[in-house]
Amino acid sequence: MSKIKKRDSWGSRIGIIMAVAGSAVGLGNFLRFPAKAASNGGGAFMIPYFVSLLLLGLPLVWVEWALGRYGGGFEHGTAPGIFHSVRQKNRFIKYFGIIGIFGPLVIFTYYGYIASWTLGYSFFALTGKYASIFDQSTMQAFLRGFQGIEINQYFNSLVPAYIFFLVTFIITIWVVYYGIKGGIEKLCKIAMPLLLIFAVILLARVFTLGTPNVARPSWNISNGLGFLWNPDFSALKSAKVWLEAAGQIFFTLSVGIGVILTYASYLSKGDDVALSGLTAASTNEMAEVVLGASIIIPAAFVFFGPMEIKNIAASGVFNLGFVTMPLILNNIPFSQVFGFLWFFLLFLAGITSAVSLAQPAVAFLEDEFALTRKKAVAIFALVSFTLSQGAIFFLSRGVVDELDFWGGTFFLVVFATIETILFAWVFGMENAWDEIHKGADIRIPRVYKFIIKYVTPAFLFVILGTWFYQEWIPIIVMKNVSLENRPYILTTRIVLLAMLIALAIMVKIAWRKRKLNKAV
């Protein structure tokens, strides 16, 4: 008789909370959120944002924590096995769970590369490599040179960026190799407090900027915060603002990806998921709403004023983080130190998210194919490293945007819809409500029983329906893709389709093997 391998587990409740918060607290908290809020009605954006948090975000958090713990009780750590655990008589339900491995893997192939930029810029900040740059166009040229998009006086090849990518990739794989307790939990228990300390230091520095431009006394922090938070209620009439807010909730809480399912699968049956899920979500929201929104946009307002700030907010997250913020920090004393704090904060946010994205695929190989941790991580490292090359070498061809759309947007909403229907309607709302509250330290308000069953699925169907109505045909026919980039986008789509087919075949093989073992 073969010896049954004992699954890994978390060492403490604070460990799982920090890990889930680490997965959620990423580059989007400090870059994407302030840009979305500032360009979508300012304070008015927060109305659909909090509506989405209450009706979409929190319900999905509890759904994924409860589903993950339930599936973990059947020795499953990823969506195919967890879905199968809910309805074992259904032969096809496990295939819907493929998205819960596909999504994190796709995001990992470009997210790690972007996270490596923050490590590179941390080094550049300390060494003063961009310290003499004080205008937007030159700082943008510095970024494009680093990304390998152009050759200039700062960089003549992609080699520096590739070196930082290799370092980041090795660190990520090393952490994942040491497992849940020995790797991921240890990292997050150190990285998350350090990240928050760095953010508070930067926040304090931003709040003490005063009025650097004496000729324009209205360019101050108070007005900068007002620009971000004063509501433009007319924006609430736009469906786009509501969809942007819902998308940000998905993005920031890491729901609909499959990561929380996997993390929660390592809980014991009596471990709390109600309070732990709420605590992890609250930690993320504090990092985003309180810290993320109060650093970059108000600081940019002080130095660039109310006219230019609109262009800055709409310039995209890369420009915000890697162009605007370095320019701001170059104008204050000890700029190299504060520059390092900014970019290393982003690196810590990126690396804790990167390890979470790796775990579902590794857990799938461990749980369903009975591979050792060493072999599972080695296979994941080889596959993900190979797939990452497209994002690195064809960044300027729109490959990262394409990967982000399918892995980090479309399939994310599809997967969230599937797991909500599965939990509330297939598993049954009474069973689901009991499952959430097993070992719970709090009672979730009973209204959420109704919200999870009816409101959240309806909200998700509206998002999907609106997207299909407005965007489906233009995206499929690549209407907004230039002719020279279409071969790269088409190739990317073929690779993604091949990944889905390969995962489906792997699930089929795993369950056939499981069936044969039972027969023996």
Which domains does the chain carry? 13-519 (1.20.1740)
Residue pLDDT, tens place only, 495-519: 999 999 999 999 999 999 877 776 6
Q: What DSSP string describes 357-390?
A: HHHHHHHHHHHHH---HHHHHHHHHHHHHHHHHH
Q: Which residue in this structure is represented by tokens 């030159």?
A: 138
Bridge partners of residue 231, in order along the sequence: 42
Separation between Cα atoms, residue 209 and residue 229, nearest integer Å: 19
> How confident is the prediction for the chain on average, in pLDDT?
91
pLDDT at 4 over 60: no
408-464 pLDDT tens trace: 888 988 999 999 999 999 999 999 999 999 999 999 999 999 999 999 999 999 888
Distance CA 337, CA 364 (A): 42
Provide the 3-class DSSP secondary structure of residue 461: helix
Q: What's the Rg (C-alpha) of the chain?
A: 23
Q: Which of 125-139, 215-229, 392-406 has the lowest mean pLDDT?
A: 215-229
Cα distance between residue 379 and residue 25, in whole Å: 27
Amino acid identity, residue 337? V
Pick the range with the lowest mean pLDDT from 38-42, 301-305, 333-337. Answer: 38-42
The better pLDDT of the pair 239, 304 is held by 304
Residue-wise pLDDT for 93-136, tens only, equals 999 999 999 999 999 999 999 999 999 999 999 999 999 999 98
What pLDDT was estimated at residue 5?
61
**Above pLDDT 70, what percent of the chain?**
98
CA-based torsion, 496, 355, 374, 120: positive or negative: positive
* Amino acid at the residue 14: I
Q: How far apart are CA 278 and CA 292, in angstroms?
A: 19
Residue predicted with more confidence, 236 or 10 = 10
Residue pair 296/34 in contact (Cβ under 8 Å)? The answer is yes
pLDDT of residue 3: 47
Q: End-to-end distance of the chain based on CA atoms, in angstroms? A: 11
Angstrom distance (rounded) from CA 338 to CA 42: 27
Alpha-carbon distance of 482 to 467, in angstroms, equals 22
pTM (predicted TM-score): 0.93
Share of the chain above pLDDT 90, in %: 67
